[in-house]
A and B are shown apart, each in its own frame.
Chain A
Amino acid sequence: MSAPSLDPEAQANSLRRAQVRRSLTRRNRAEARFRALGMVSALAALGFVAILFGNILSRGIPAFWQYSAVLNVTFDPAVVRVPERPVQGADQSDADYQTALLGWQRRFSMVNWNTLISRAVLDAAPAGVTADQRAVLSVIDSGARFVLRDLVLQDPSLIGQTVPVRLLASADADNWAKGKLDRSLPDERQQLSRPARDLIDAMTTQGSLQRSFAWHLFTNVDSRASPASAGLAGAFVGSLYMMLVVILASVPIGVSSAIYLEEFAPRNRFTDVIEVNINNLAAVPSIVFGLLGAAVFINLFRLPLSAPLVGGLVLTLMTLPTIIIATRSALRAVPPSLRQAALGIGASRTQMVFHHVLPVTYPGILTASILGVAQALGETAPLLLIGMNAFVANIPATPLEQSAALPVQIYLWQGNENRNFFEARTFAAIIVLLALMISLNALAIWLRGRLERKA
């Protein structure tokens, strides 16, 4: 063996070995390259997500805390001058009484609450700080008037008393206190007058203006008259109604048509056409569904504008193909042996499908439905075309009432002219929407895991 490598066979062997070794290094290098590339792209994707989330969180989270002041408001009887609550007379009809009652309430709205607010603010401010009423009022959110009114309407015995009330700082004051406005800008470039700015600084140092968690972001509806109190409740409920409509309409229709197409329909030209159409529908841009919705649901069926019902129906059209396609592929993944076994022991086709095939596909159908609904939740474009981009200051009581939706609320706040305040609010709304989406996706994963374990 130690003979010189003159043996032709040994020579050929060593040549082959060298060749194999060369190709092996080449293949190893190719693999290393591919791995590195894959790693880089995964890291890049992760980096983008991190940048996105970092950006959204850093900009949005400050909006969850807002400045407010607990003020001792004196309900001075000289200012709050309202008659006694009307009592229904014996000869007074219900309608007349209602009118009288509403008139009485309107008297409360007319009270000059601003006087009480500016007095209370000056009381709370450190001694020696003075400002005219306009400057003082610009510190407190303009919705404070109605907070005081509602307090007295609920309990008229408050008149004459002094009670602590938490009132929100105005949007401009909040910006100033949070340091979002450039302090070096001259007076004519500032939103707030100099006395107002000094008052805010004095009150924050003294501690009477404090930052607290903005629960009203979740409990209030959108507001333009008092921007500091604008919240997401209306949009949230609107989105909720739309989701309900989408679930109630698209899941039964989508799943049953998928079952029919996959298990019962004969294979012919007609079902082929349907199949191609469904696949095409899945690729139609969502704005087209919005146009269709406006033409069909609003102009033809005369359903109301800006209603979550219409929004839900439009989003249903969009979600249907997703659910049908996913359900069909789930059905197709069921081994034929299961079907044959069921048929073999005498089950009818319907029994075979509903008792044996369908239960196996629940995890798939469920995941597809939840993902479809989550996608619909974030959809904005079609909603703009059915009038859901309107400013609505109500929480809708039924899906037929006008309402906003979460993604549209983001769009609206993004367009608000008070940029300094609403930019953060916009990102806060995005955080809420993302949180909702992530929980829906988590629910999908959890349900799939649970059902898969059962099956």
Chain B
Amino acid sequence: MTANPILNLSVLVAGALAAGALIVGPVAAQERSTIQIAGSSTVLPFASIAAEEFGQFFPEFDTPVVGSGGSGGGMRQFCQGIGANTIDIANSSRPIKTSEIEACRANGVSDIREIRIGYDGIVLASRLDGPAFALEPRDIYTAIAANLPEGMAPPMLWSDVNPSLPAQRINMAIPGANHGTREVFEERVLEAGCEAVMGGALENGGCLQLRQDNVIEITGDYTETLARLNADPDTVGVFGLSFYDQNRDTLRVATINGVTPSLDTVASGEYLVSRPLFFYVKGAHLGVVPGLAEYTEFFLSDMMVGAGGRLEMAGLIPAPAAETAQVLENFLNGVSVAQ
């Protein structure tokens, strides 16, 4: 055995690798050319469609990359600082929190532009082959809350909660704390129900304490909630209206206060459990990451978020044109939420 081809190859490869590491260092430290987005899984479908269309309309820019991780997860990445390895946009299904603004500022992210893109409803749905539910916030609170009025036994069946409801075991799949949807559910459903049942808010967030035996927290996306429904047919799950829209052939939606959720009832404000959707743009990256301003303007264009636009077809409920115009104006004027 003389010269050994594989040995030579591995020496060569090791050399190439070392050289590669030297090159990679400076390249990575350079600025990025692709917009990087992360956050809410509710906003993700809309942001992905907008990103793709943006790539089609603006061939001079790369198609933005859209990650998920929930509103909270996205905001944490967003607030990690400024630079090529931090994200440019955080999608969120709730407004940014004061604590997050503080965290952002501590890491030098002080120019945070809030973009409100439209609305989404939150629906409660069960399997199509089960009974229909007509719920009110007080029913939901009574069914799953840990703190009930004295003397009231924790109900086991929906019919224990309210005789007009089906005699089905109570089991709810609700979004985990990393989801913005959870907060809207707490605010619009649990707190409202608590008010009605307990006669006012409880101390130390007592309204939001839930029973452990009949509530499942879903940390993943709505597909996971759907899988729960398939595993346990008695489950009532919390979904986004846009998700329900795509799966109408398998889900039965519950009415809340007698209103059936739909694009129209959410837009008109008749259906109560709805929330605005947002994304937050890192001001310091404008002009550094190419296309960031153009993406934001494109997203807010009539073609995307307007009535009859591309995103309405995907299930986003458009905001009134004047509201969107105001959002765009604030963005262009550099209005930051951290001021």
Which residues of A pack against B, CB within 8 Å?
Answer: 98, 102, 105-106, 109, 142, 146, 181-182, 185, 188-191, 223-226, 248-249, 251-253, 255-256, 298-299, 301-306, 309, 354-356, 358-359, 362, 387, 389-394, 400-402, 414-420
Contact = CB atoms under 8 A, between A and B. Distances in A.
B4 A359 contact: yes
B220 interface: yes
A394 B57 contact: no
B52 A225 contact: yes
Interface in B1-37: 1, 4, 6-7, 10-11, 13-14, 16-17, 24-25, 27-29, 32, 34, 36-37
Given A102-B59, A391-B66, A415-B223, A306 B36 contact: yes
A347 to B, nearest CB: 11
B7 A304 contact: no
A234 to B, nearest CB: 10
Contact of B10 (A255, A390, A392): A255
Contact of A303 (B24, B38, B53): B24
B330 interface: no
23 contacts: A102-B59, A102-B60, A181-B249, A190-B248, A191-B246, A224-B45, A224-B49, A224-B52, A248-B16, A249-B17, A251-B10, A301-B25, A304-B84, A305-B67, A358-B4, A358-B7, A362-B6, A389-B68, A390-B36, A394-B65, A415-B223, A419-B246, A419-B247
Interface in B67-84: 67-68, 83-84
Interface residues of B, number: 59
B316 interface: no
Contact of B36 (A98, A146, A402): A402
Contacts of B13: 248, 251-252
B34 A225 contact: no
A393 B54 CA distance: 11
Nearest to B12: A252
A216 to B, nearest CB: 15
A393 B44 contact: no
Nearest to B29: A302
Contact of A420 (B36, B84, B249): B249
Given A309-B24, A387-B38, A394 B63 contact: yes
Given A98-B60, A358-B4, 10 more contacts: A189-B128, A225-B53, A252-B13, A301-B25, A304-B28, A354-B4, A390-B36, A393-B48, A400-B24, A401-B34
A59 B232 CA distance: 23
A223 B56 CA distance: 12
Most chain B beta carbons < 10 A, residue from A223, A354, A416, A419: A419
Interface of B: 1, 4, 6-7, 10-11, 13-14, 16-17, 24-25, 27-29, 32, 34, 36-38, 41, 44-45, 48-49, 51-53, 55-60, 62-63, 65-68, 83-85, 87, 128, 220-224, 226, 242-243, 246-250, 310
B36 A302 contact: no
Contact of A109 (B11, B24, B57, B222): B57
A225 B41 CA distance: 16
A303 B62 CA distance: 19
Contacts of B242: 417
A233 to B, nearest CB: 14
B85 A303 contact: yes
Contact of A304 (B66, B85, B223): B85
Contact of B52 (A190, A223, A255): A223
Given A224-B49, A248-B16, A305-B85, A188 B248 contact: yes
A399 to B, nearest CB: 9
Given A223-B52, A225-B53, A387-B38, A400 B246 contact: no
A391 B87 contact: no
A273 B277 CA distance: 54
A302 B65 contact: no
Contact of B66 (A301, A358, A390): A390
A400 B10 CA distance: 23
Most chain A beta carbons < 10 A, residue from B1, B246, B247, B250: B246
Q: Nearest 7 A-B pairs (CB), nearest first?
A: A390-B67, A224-B48, A225-B52, A391-B66, A225-B49, A402-B65, A252-B10
A45 to B, nearest CB: 26
Nearest to A255: B10
Contacts of B87: 305
A359 B83 CA distance: 49
Given A387-B67, A394-B63, A400-B28, A302 B84 contact: yes
Contact of A252 (B17, B28, B36, B48): B17
A416 B223 contact: yes
Contacts of B221: 415
A302 B4 CA distance: 37
Contacts of B67: 305-306, 387, 389-391
A226 B48 CA distance: 11
A190 B248 CA distance: 7
A225 B54 CA distance: 11
Contact of B223 (A226, A305, A414): A414
B85 A298 contact: yes
A401 B63 CA distance: 12
Nearest to A171: B246
